[in-house]
Amino acid sequence: MSDFEPASRSPNGHLFRTSTVPSDAPFQRKPVRTSIKVFAKAARAALGLHDKEPAFEVPARLFEQLPFAIYVCDRNGLVLRYNRRAAELWGRSPKPSDPNERFCGSYQMFRPDGSLLPHDQCPMADVLRTGISVREQEVHIERPDGVRGIALVDIEAIKDIDGNIVGAVNCFQDITERKRSEAQIVNLAHEAEHRTKNILSTVLATVRLSRADTSDDLKQLIEGRINALAMVHGLFVQSRWAGAELRGLVTQELSPYCGESEGRVRIDGPPIMLEPATAQTVAICLHELATNAAKYGSLSAARGRVEIAWSRTADGRLSLRWIEAGGPTVTPPTRRGFGTRVMENIICQLKGEVHFDWHHHGLACEIAVPLA
């Protein structure tokens, strides 16, 4: 089985595989770096060189079972020998000593900036020209099927007793998954910074729009709204910041009002994942509606009930309906309350709409916001 798995595209455009090799696999940096000198000596034997010390031959079985990729080139760059691991990373099995196969057995190579790296300019070719060893250099390898991976190469020049370059050995390892993880960490750091600023902006807007007759009431009002934001961010963590599932968000916000009566709160709607900005807005709106219903509306009466239903419209918008019944008789307000203004303000920021209908049997509210 090939070591390269189906690829996914990273933010910088490279294709990464999904690795099945554990992070503590034995072909990490240290074994390669400590082994290349040993295998360079073995490569001298493969090239027919004889030292004063007994030549160290690597048995074919051991060579194939090495947990990292390795291959040997002669002074002209002909690939003399390679192991199974190298063939897996290359995605092909070139014929040893084939004059058309020089410096590396990969189909194509690229530099980290994405530009094509000709075989005669690759690190192996440089080592054969200069005799200067290469340590931990990144090379992007493309297989014949178009899937790319990233290899970390360590190349040791092989010289005869007179110091002439007669070949080189390359021990290399697949670091595609590691590079993908590093890129993801950087992206998550930027995303965390962006989301933190959004959270603070939402909190500041909430504080500015909050009004109450006493300082204690104001504190309680602000605390409730910030707590609604905190709960929805708990859902973000569960989804790794992809957003929040709408049913979970509604259930979480209305759970304190369900009580022992099963029919007090009814929730109905298809599965919809809300992106973070939309989820925050919906959470604040549900908090305002629930708080108002608990003070003045249907949730303030023993037999009161509320229905929350939603759907996805044909033009890609979320339509959420809040319908109260069984509470005190409702009279339309003579002025817009602060809760209403909060909802209108944050929904407007999403280019959405909100409508209130004060029927005598209870409030009906409909919210429409775009879905990503």
Each residue of 294-317: pLDDT tens digit?
888 999 998 899 999 999 999 999
For the record, the structure tokens of 212 come out as 């109450």
- Which residue is associated with the tokens 């910088």? 12
Contact predicate 180/21, CB 8 Å: no
Domain 190-370 sits in CATH at 3.30.565.10
What is the predicted pLDDT for the residue at 260? 58
| Beta strands at 148-159 and 165-174: parallel, antiparallel or unpaired | antiparallel
Helix (H) or strand (E) holding 110, with range, is: strand 108-110
pLDDT for 172: 92
The distance of Cα 15 from the centroid of its chain, to the nearest Å, equals 14
The topology (CATH level 3) of 7-174 is Beta-Lactamase (3.30.450)
pLDDT at residue 25, as a whole number: 36
**Where does residue 259 fall: left (phi above 0), alpha (psi -120 to 50 degrees), or beta otherwise?**
left
State residue 263's pLDDT score: 79
Domains 7-174 and 190-370 alike in fold: no
Q: CA-CA distance, 213 to 218, in Å (whole number)? A: 7
Determine the longest span between alpha carbons in the chain, in angstroms. Answer: 104
Whole-number Cα distances in Å, 307 to 298, 345, 365: 10, 24, 11
Strand partners, 245: 273
**Residue ranges per structural domain of the chain:** 7-174, 190-370
Tens-digit pLDDT profile for residues 14-64: 433 333 333 333 333 444 444 555 555 555 555 555 554 443 445 566 677
**Average pLDDT of the chain?**
79
The alpha carbon of residue 232 and the mean position of all alpha carbons in its chain are separated, in whole angstroms, by 20
**Are the C-beta atoms of 331 and 300 separated by less than 8 Å?**
no
Distance between CA 70 and CA 170 in Å, rounded? 5
pLDDT at 323 over 60: yes
The 3-class SS string of 176-218 reads: HHHHHHHHHHHHHHHHHHHHHHHHHHHHHHHHHHCCCCCHHHH
Minimum mean pLDDT range among 30-34, 196-200, 315-319, 324-328: 30-34
